[in-house]
Amino acid sequence: MRAAVLAAAGGILLRDGMQAVTFDRVAAEAGSSKTTLYKWWPSPGALAAEAYFTQSLRVLDFPDTGDLRADLITQLGAFVHWLKDDGAEKPVAELVGAAQLDPSLADAWSQSYALPRRELARQRLRIAQRDGQLRADADLDIIVDQLWGACYHRLLVLKVPFDESIVERLVDHALYGAAPREA
């Protein structure tokens, strides 16, 4: 039953946005009772967040082909594609915005999505450090901030268009910097 509720809520979220994710509508589409939803989630925002996490699981996969640059391009490209082409851009903006006013949503976003996602990236970066593809003193959190933070910044703060064409440049700047390369 929980899977059906999350699938219904995720579909509503991606199609119609966060405001459409109500306990009434989700219960009706999932064939569940509102009482069950109230028992499982403290707010429609928390339900929307978990539904988003469930829908985005495939985007969380982080490849390890042994080539850090290629893996970062693949993963970050999948994330940007999820936002821009698969319909997650508006729901993400709405979830992050609503999290500023809904403590249960903010906690769910941080604990169930943002921090685990960050740790997946850090795990891959630690492997790259171990394999000599990154300096031993590289700040992994800063690399994560540079890559995914740039996408969130463009989406949430600047509200400027972007697409997968920025991915390779973001990765190259994070890995090689902006200084001229030595011959």
DSSP 140-171: HHHHHIIIIIHHHIIIIII-----GGGHHHHH
Q: In terms of Cα–Cα distance, which of 51, 50, 43, 44 is closest to 10?
A: 51
Positions of the chain with pLDDT under 50 = none
pLDDT at 183: 53
Answering whether pTM is above 0.75, one says: yes
pLDDT at 178: 83
pLDDT at 105: 87
